[in-house]
Each structure stands twice: as structure tokens, then as C-alpha cells.
Amino acid sequence: MSLSQEVDPFERLTDQDIHTAIHNATGPRSALFVPEVPLQVLVRRQIARLLDHCLQCARLVYNELVKIKHSCLVHELQRFPVLKMHINDIVGSFLFEGLQPSQTMIGHLVEMESQLGGKLLIFQSKTKG
């Protein structure tokens, strides 16, 4: 089953929440256009819920890379079992060492997007690095 099929964008978001956010932004008068800020607040709240799914995607990518690593060990290496073992260990540790920084980066990106001014935070982090 696809991860995107498991995520309901309206879970924990009711019509009343949307109505209240728009009403709070416009005040007692009715607005000609729907204000963007309250909808951004609601969307950012929903973005924060995607963290677990994003981390699960990172683990699935890691698992696929491990499978690819096993399939890339060519038959000719059977003659050199020590070399095969060392290559397997080195590539495996390389992939595993990349998993934690990837998950940390994903967490930071989701956190930045879920904050007000998240786009500004991402832009500032790109210009610093």
C-alpha cells in the first residue's frame, strides 16, 4: 500500500476549524477574497503531521538501497570471500551512517515548513550553507 494513500489531509481538520480561521482573520466583516494567512496556518499544522510518514519513507529508501547493495555483489567476488565481506561491510556502514543525518534533515525540513515563516527559514538556511 502506498504511503500517500494512508494520509488523510483532512484528518483532525474540520470545516469548523476552517470557518473559524477565516472568521478570525477577517473579523466581523465579510471578505471579498479568502485571506491566505489563516489557510497557511491550517496547512502548516497539517504539514507537521507528515513527519512520521517522511521518516518512514527514508527508512524504506534505506531498505531498498540495502537490497540493491546485495544484488550488486557480483558472482566473481565469490572467489574472494574476505574481499566480498569487507565490501559488504563498508557499503552497509556507509548507507547506515547516511540514514541518521537524512532523518535529521527531514525532521528539520518538516519543522521549518510547519512553522510560520517556514519558507523564510528554508531560504535563510540555504543562503548560510
* pTM of the predicted protein model: 0.67
Cell 538556511 belongs to 125
Cα–Cα distances (Å) from 13 to 16, 18, 44, 107, in that order, read 8, 8, 12, 22
Smallest Cα–Cα separation from 59: which of 12, 99, 25? 99
**What value, to the nearest 5°, has the Cα angle with vertex 48 and ends 45 and 49?**
100
Domain regions of the chain by residue span: 1-49, 50-129
Taking only the tens of pLDDT, the chain with its 129 residues reads: 455 567 777 777 788 887 787 777 777 777 667 677 777 777 787 888 888 889 999 999 999 999 999 888 888 888 899 999 999 999 999 999 999 999 999 999 988 887 766 566 566 667 776
| Residue among 17, 121, 116, 1 nearest 9 (CA) | 17
